[in-house]
Structure 1
Amino acid sequence: MKRNFIKLFFTLCLSPLFLNANVQLIKKENANSNTTLLVIGGIHGDEPGAYFSASILATHYKINSNNLWVVPNLNQQSIQKNTRGIHGDMNRKFALIKNGDKDREIVEEIKKIITQKNVSLVLNLHDGNGFYRKTDKGNIFNPNAWGQTCVIDQCDLNQTQPFGNLNTIAFDVKNKINKRLIEDHHTFDVKNTNTKFDDEAMQHSLTFFAVTHNKPAFAIESSKNLPSLSQKVFYHLLAIEEFMKIMEIDFTREFDLDEKHITELLQMHGNLNINDNISIDLSNSKKSLSFIPIKSESNVFKFSNPLGSVAREDNSFVVYIGNKKVVTLNPQYFKMGQTCAEKFDVIVDGLKVTLNKASDIIVNDDFNIIEQNGYRVNVIGFTSEGLINESGVSIKLKDFDKRFSIDVNSNVYRIEFYKNDEFCHMSKVHFIQDRENE
């Protein structure tokens, strides 16, 4: 199976965004502030609690004072494949990395971000095995486990560093977390690896790189043995919030911090825009969509979700949110129209409205795309005997074959606009009635 990674863009309306060549850095900043928390998720592709937490942090938190920077998906290709590292362990490449290493550009870029002057503290998010305990209590609960820990490389940094008391901060955070445990055995603790003297492998890690450059750094490890992704995300966000409080980063969030609301957020996959003329809601889409009109090459994919990515597999485009395969797009290649109208007219439930290209059409009863000279309209799933152009026709939900719906509820259908056999754009019609009540 041929599988290629495709370059794409992430778009977020509410938060400033800076796209580096290889690292997605989302900045949520306030004027006249130099205190900045840098949160990094996804250094290991098989630790979804880490990168889904960072994604929710980037999209559903408002920062009212000081600054928050988020790198939600540092090792994007490994995230897609749900593996620790397709080119080896990225978290063991910060002391020395070979010129030919395929992770080199990403590692060097995140190093530059970490060492920027206004980065005050670094959090590296992980999911670790087991539940850390200071004494051996079996295969899962033991000193060799990493899960449910706040990890530090040493106790203190330079005394002039405002957040240099690593041990004190870590214990403060773990004590606050332990007041909100979902289950009693989810207890958090502090794990000091004493890296400089006792742990040669950790001397190559991201946090030790930060510490050696006088940047306070911690690893937050939720347990891989927790039963759900929502629980992993809960503990990550709980820890991050405690660090923000210590750093006097005032924040508000759009949800209650509990399992129920986190589960709902994890199901919100956001929107995919293709070539600025196709828009697909990924939260409720079918697992496979066919005959998607795109270019044979150089397609541009834009996601509202920072974990969105696309991989070419054989003749299809597979859309991912994090490590989750969301939808497979089977393409039909067209030349893109260069002189297409920016708006179109449609009669919706008896009222004429003018919409921008690729807009959604919300319908109670019926709709009718008003004819435009030189344009052909193809309403996917609507069967019309002898009609090449399906504009000028009143169409109801009952007229559609639900096999052609975009969504799992069979209420959303594609409307494609063509000019001189070149593709212009795709809109979607949403019927807000249930099919049973049509």
Structure 2
Amino acid sequence: MYFSLFLLFFSITSLNALPFNIIKKETDILNTPTLLVIGGIHGNEPGSYFAAALLSRYYHIKQGNLWIVPDLNRPSIQQDNRGINGDMNRKFSDIDPQDADVETVQEIQKIITEKQVALILNLHDGHGFYRKKHLNTIFNPNAWGQTCVIDQGTLDTEHPYGNLNEIASKVSGELNNDLIEGHHFFDVRNTNTRFDDEAMKHSLTYFAVTHNKPAFAIETSKNLPSLHHKVFYHLHAIECYMKLMGIKYERTFDLNMDAIEQLLKNHDYLTINNNIYFDLQNLKNSLSFIPLQSERNEFKFAHPLGSVQKNKTQYDLFIGNQKISTLIPSYHPKELCSIPITILADGKTQKLSFATDFFVTADFKIINNDLNTRVNVIGFTKKGVKDEANILVGLSDLDSKYSIDTAHKSYRVEFYQKNRFCGMVLVHFK
């Protein structure tokens, strides 16, 4: 039976949730192999986690299975820091039970060692451009960029994908047939971890190899000129591995620089407590008087890299390492309200529920005759009017400083019962 998770919500406050997201796109878990792709082990390597995010959002799996962890080290991603608790990629052979990363490391180890996982890709952005001979400080044998990294030539025991050097060489060759610039070419870097690299013995890929799991690191260069360059090469490499494993897919875009650049700008939307909605495109840097609960707010992002960080009296919203906005709350107790929402938008009647939006060209009206319900169109004022239901509102009637977006075309419409917040919808003027 065909099954693919595509349009997903990513909740960061769910009870018993993992400290990272895992997206599973599966067609036949019993008879076909699973590719596990991991991004964001280092928070200052955005090519890795934005590539994994695009993979989760815009690829449909038609045959085979794909698991994606786009945000393994979420706190470090928010801070654009390699590792706020130290290098997570040096904690896989042994980790202190008191280490702040212990839950993340142990949970991803469980996933790596699951029986159906047949191959692991760990995505990175590395410095420079790897060359076997030293040319300068950017092009040299100590650089990591533009490499397919392996810990050893072959696995110690038989495995369908156990010839790591052969596979990495084949993928590098395919990547080199479609380079943006000639000096971007890929090569295989074998760290020969067991004998030559003490630090790599503590890495995620070596942990996988020692558990008879083929594992590769894809390193794009930090010296590439843009994020979409890095994401392009990561996705191209992942597609090579999917092809090798017989995983068939469809993507909803052409794999080129322009398309990727546009997709990276799409931040989608956020719902809070199932009664608040924000479109995250062109959101203002700061929004005030957001009606939140004093605790246990549930933020659900449509983007897999969406996350929130509470900072004293405010909430910072992130997409990956990009801070999108800051919410300054006004606290309200949780209310279970059942309010039918009827709007007249450009003369046409619509029915809505909380945490949704609608579009108008000319004007709108919230139709409501319940005396216990009060409507507050944020940015609209009329002398002597406390309930703003049943009033026709156009864009010129709204104070632009109360818009949520930089274009001043999106506004909150809030609903209250007995002065207690129930929920909101968002109106966008075209």
Q: TM-score, normalised by structure 1?
A: 0.93
1:22 aligns with 2:31: no
Tell me how far 1:92 sits from its aligned partner: 0.6
Compared CA separation, residues 429 and 14, structure 1 to 2 (3 A): closer
SS in 2 for 1:24: coil
Counterpart position of 1:244? 242
Match of 1:362, as an amino acid?
Answer: F
Conserved 8 A contact 2:37-2:67: yes
Q: Which residue of 1 aligns with 2:307?
A: 309
Match of 1:325 among 323, 326, 345: 323
Deviates more, 1:133-142 or 1:372-381: 372-381
In structure 1, C-alpha distance between the alignment counterparts of 2:246 and 2:156, rounded to whole Å: 21
Amino acid at match of 2:311: E
Once the 2 structures are TM-superposed, how far is the Cα of residue 181 of structure 1 from its aligned partner?
Answer: 0.8
What code does the residue aligned with 2:303 have?
A: N
1:410 to 408, 411, 420: 408
Decide whether aligned partners of structure 1 residues 164 and 16 sit closer, same or farther in structure 2, where only a CA change above 3 A counts: farther
Tell me the distance in 2 between the aligned counterparts of 1:240 and 1:96.
29
For residue 106 of structure 1, report the CA deviation from its aligned partner.
0.9
Counterpart pick for 1:257 among 255, 258, 274: 255
In 2, the alpha carbon distance for the partners of 1:292 and 1:33 equals: 49
Distance in 2 of aligned mates of 1:77 and 1:215: 27
Report the Cα distance in structure 2 between the residues aligned to 1:338 and 1:14, rounded to whole angstroms. Answer: 27
Aligned: 1:345 with 2:338: no
Query: Where does residue 161 of structure 1 map in the other structure?
Result: 159
Question: Any conservation in 1 of the 2:314–2:327 contact (CA below 8 Å)?
Answer: yes
| Cα distance between partner residues in 1 of 2:410 and 2:64 | 42
Q: Which residue type is aligned with residue 328 of structure 2?
A: N
SS of corresponding position for 2:63:
coil
Question: What code does the residue aligned with 2:343 have?
Answer: V
Measured in 2, the distance between the counterparts of 1:347 and 1:17 equals 32
Alpha-carbon contact 2:58-2:252 (below 8 Å) kept: yes
Shift of 1:124: 0.4
In the TM superposition, residue 159 of structure 1 has moved relative to its aligned partner by: 5.6
2:89 alignment partner AA: N
Could you report, residue by residue, the CA deviation over 1:330-379 in whole angstroms, capped at 9, with x for unpaired residues? 111112322332x3112222232222223312212111111231100111
What is the SS of the residue equivalent to 2:183? helix
Partner of 1:9: none
Alignment of 1:69-108 (within 5 A): 69-108=67-106
Match of 1:358 among 355, 358, 373: 355
Query: How far 1:404 moved relative to its partner?
Result: 1.2
Question: C-alpha separation between the residues in 1 aligned to 2:356 and 2:116?
Answer: 41
* C-alpha contact (below 8 Å) 1:154/1:195 kept by paired residues: yes
Give distance in 2, aligned partners of 1:315 and 1:87: 24
**What's 1:8 paired with?**
none
Provide, for residues 68-91 of structure 1, a one-character-per-residue CA deviation record: whole Å limited to 9, x for no partner. Answer: 000111110011111111111110
Work out whether residues 154 and 192 of structure 1, in 8 Å CA contact, stay in contact via their aligned partners in 2. Answer: yes
Task: Select 1:286's aligned residue among 281, 284, 287.
Answer: 284
Partner of 1:51: 49
Unaligned runs of 5+ in 2: none
Instruction: Quote the residue 2:37 is aligned against.
Output: 39
In the aligned structure 2, how far is the partner of 1:246 from the partner of 1:235? Answer: 17
How many residue pairs end up in the alignment? 420
1:368 equivalenced with 2:365 (yes/no) = yes
1:64-213 equivalences in 2 (<5 Å) = 64-158=62-156, 160-213=158-211
> Aligned partners of 2:104, 2:34: CA distance in 1, in Å?
21
Q: Which amino acid aligns with 1:198?
A: D
> Is the contact between residue 15 and residue 28 of structure 1 (CA under 8 Å) also seen in structure 2?
no
For structure 1, list consecutive stretches of 5 or more residues without a partner in the other structure.
1-11, 433-438
Q: Which moved more, 1:177-186 or 1:155-164?
A: 155-164
1:398 to 396, 400, 416: 396
SS of residue paired to 1:64: strand
1:295 pairs with 2:293: yes
d(CA) in 1 for partners of 2:356, 2:31: 39
Secondary structure (helix, strand or coil) at the match of 1:309 reads strand
Q: Could you tell me how far apart the structure 2 residues matched to 1:20 and 1:206 are?
A: 22
Q: What is aligned with 1:435?
A: none
| Partner deviation per Cα, 1:17-61 (whole Å, 9 max, x = no partner) | 998532321100003433000000010111001011111111111
CA shift for structure 1 position 15: 6.1
Q: Aligned partner of 2:235: which letter?
A: L
If the length of structure 2 is used for normalisation, what is the TM-score? 0.95
